[in-house]
Amino acid sequence: INLRTAYAFSREMYPKLSTEHIQYGTGGFRGKAEFLDSVMFRMGVLATLRSRFRSGAAIGVMITASHNPEPDNGVKLVDPKGEMLEASWESIATDLVNVSDQELEQQVAKIIKDNNIDITSSSIVYVGMDNRYHSPRLLKAVADGVIALKGNVREYGIVTTPMLHYFVVSANTKEAYGKPMEEGYYDKLITAFKTLRNDQLENGNYKNNLIFDGANGVGARKMLQFIKRMQNSLQVTVINQGIGQGKINEDCGADYVKVQQRPPKSMPEVEPYTRCCSVDGDADRVVYFFSNDKGEFQLLDGDRIATLVAGYLMDLAKKCQLDLRLGLVQTAYANGASTDYIVNELKVPVSCVPTGVKHLHHKALEYDIGVYFEANGHGTVVFSDHAKSTVAEAAKAGDKPDAKIFLKIIDLINETVGDAISDMLLVETILNHKGWDVKDWISTYTDLPNQQLKIKVQDRNVIATTDAERVCVKPEGLQFEINKAVSNYKRGRAFVRPSGTEDVVRVYAEANTKEDTVSLAHEIGILVQ
């Protein structure tokens, strides 16, 4: 194909405006929206190449900056099975967005040659976006990139990140997984959820109502769609719907609630112990919270969801007499108390991996039932083929009602990626089955006080870590200083790492008391500066 005209067009329409090197990180490419047009065009090009490389399978492109502030945007690619882009292509992506406009054509030719891609073969790219005001403009850039390579593009408009993952998998899966359409997604989750409710809307301490903080993002819009279709099997009040003055993730949403450890600013007056949850801007994370009768804020984060889900699945497997290996995967951000609870109470193997879902997902695949969650509420459960067929067989046998429940639980879970709405429906199902309210849930263990700081430095990449980011190897001597600081605090633990999505170094600290935690975080922050 003669691509000359396409490139001339792109140079004119989507010139590269910044020479700053950017890297495909934990959340794809992120940055200020005004510098992303050329990145988007090039990702449209790359997605088409990737689709051709994968024999015409659908590849997803999601335009979002997730939990980051409104002026930011970003882009990530979704591979055929709904998983994150393969690691070797991350560096191909990084190289492609960093070349100059003049080198672009040559760089594309290199990718085609290196990967032996037939550029006349078929391709399809699925594109979705969050509701930031610059997302439609950036979506057009992606579509133009696809068209420049004479590829096919299907635009889904405003969807959550997990919805786009779902569309990609269902398009590429031959067995009945679901339809690659918005209705197909609602259908799959709501059918499973309703069956699991089995008309028992309340049970024991469990009440059928919940407040849902939509972070002024996509999650709010889609939750409203769920409500229309769920017919009261769950009573949800959506706050931060993204209408009026509210900005995406501003003073609300999962990241705000988790990091600030307080309810969204716009939180209405509610009864103590009212169950509330917050999702982030693209609805792939969820955390729960409530206020107790003293008016104190209480958080139920990703670690809490992971332990709830793991405990429940273990019980189900036991009741069905199925011998399945269950494991839990966390990152260094997991609260130390949750890890102790998993080891000592649940007695389940637990591993720690670097930040970023792809690492967690990968590790979780080692188990029959792999439960993984980041403390910030991003996570899901993956089941091995063996687990799925064993459960399906048991369900067929007829004398095991729990196996039927188990099968529906698998249906309710979006295995491809953390999905705030699917995770929320799963938590609601488990609490309902257990007859638990938030008080019962939080009494399983007591979180250690913890704090996160963001430190601005000249070059965040002078910090290098090892051992799942828990040990700092560069700059030399820093880990020694961290150890010294930590040793002065009872149950103290702290680590530092460069963020993959923001230009900051993150500090995490936990200790026995709130005061100690604040002081430890502060000490570490000074060491980093």
Residues in contact with ligand NG1 by the rule CB under 6 A: 26-27, 66, 333, 355-356, 374, 376, 378, 499-502, 506
203 binds, among Zn ion, ligand NG1, none (CB under 5 to 8 A by kind): none
280 binds, among Zn ion, ligand NG1, none (CB under 5 to 8 A by kind): Zn ion
User: Would you say 283 is a known binding-site residue?
Assistant: no
Contact 96, 107 (CB under 8 A): yes
User: Would you say 132 is a known binding-site residue?
Assistant: no
Q: CA 282 to CA 285: how far, in whole Å?
A: 8
Q: Which stretch binds Zn ion (CB under 5 A): 17-25, 64-72, 305-313, 356-364?
A: 64-72
Amino acid at 415: E
CA–CA distance from 281 to each of 66, 70, 242 (Å)?
Answer: 5, 9, 10
Q: CA 314 to CA 317: how far, in whole Å?
A: 5
Q: CA 179 to CA 513: how far, in whole Å?
A: 50
Q: CA 55 to CA 518: how far, in whole Å?
A: 53
Q: CA 277 to CA 145: how far, in whole Å?
A: 38
Q: Other C-beta atoms within 10 Å of 478: how many? A: 18
The answer to whether 66 is a known catalytic residue is yes
Percent helix, percent strand, percent coil in the chain, to nearest 5? 45, 20, 40
User: Would you say 500 is a known binding-site residue?
Assistant: yes
In sequence order, what are the residues at sequence separation of 6 or more whose Cβ sits closer than 8 angstroms to the Cβ of residue 253?
67, 213, 214, 215, 216, 217, 240, 264, 278, 279, 280, 281
User: Would you say 187 is a known binding-site residue?
Assistant: no
Comparison of 66 and 338: residue with beta carbon closer to ligand NG1? 66
284 binding Zn ion? (CB under 5 A) = yes
Give the N- to C-terminal CA distance of the chain in Å, as an integer. Answer: 52
499 binds, among Zn ion, ligand NG1, none (CB under 5 to 8 A by kind): ligand NG1
Q: Determine how β-strand 379-383 pairs with β-strand 369-373.
A: antiparallel
Radius of gyration of the chain, Cα coordinates, nearest whole angstrom? 23
516 binding Zn ion? (CB under 5 A) = no
205 binds, among Zn ion, ligand NG1, none (CB under 5 to 8 A by kind): none
Q: Which residue is nearest to ligand NG1 (CB)?
A: 500
CB of 249 to ligand NG1, least distance (A): 12
Q: CA 421 to CA 163: how far, in whole Å?
A: 10
CB of 284 to Zn ion, least distance (A): 4
Among 144, 213, 282, 469, binds Zn ion (CB under 5 A): 282
CB of 217 to Zn ion, least distance (A): 9
50 binds, among Zn ion, ligand NG1, none (CB under 5 to 8 A by kind): none
Q: Which residue is nearest to Zn ion (CB)?
A: 66
User: Would you say 423 is a known binding-site residue?
Assistant: no
374 binding Zn ion? (CB under 5 A) = no
Contact 190, 229 (CB under 8 A): yes
User: Would you say 195 is a known binding-site residue?
Assistant: no
Of 38, 51, 66, 291, catalytic: 66
Comparison of 301 and 415: residue with beta carbon closer to ligand NG1? 301
Q: Which stretch binds Zn ion (CB under 5 A): 190-198, 269-277, 281-289, 352-360?
A: 281-289
| Both tokens assigned to 391 | 């459960």
User: Would you say 123 is a known binding-site residue?
Assistant: no
380 binding Zn ion? (CB under 5 A) = no
Please return the burial class of 54, using the count of CB atoms within 10 Å of its CB with bins 0-12, 13-18 and 19+. Answer: middle
280 binding Zn ion? (CB under 5 A) = yes
* Binding residues vs Zn ion (CB under 5 A): 66, 280, 282, 284
Binding-site entries: 66, 280, 282, 284, 374-376, 497-501, 506
Binding-site entries for Mg(2+): 66, 280, 282, 284
**Catalytic residue annotation:** 66
Binding-site entries for substrate: 374-376, 497-501, 506
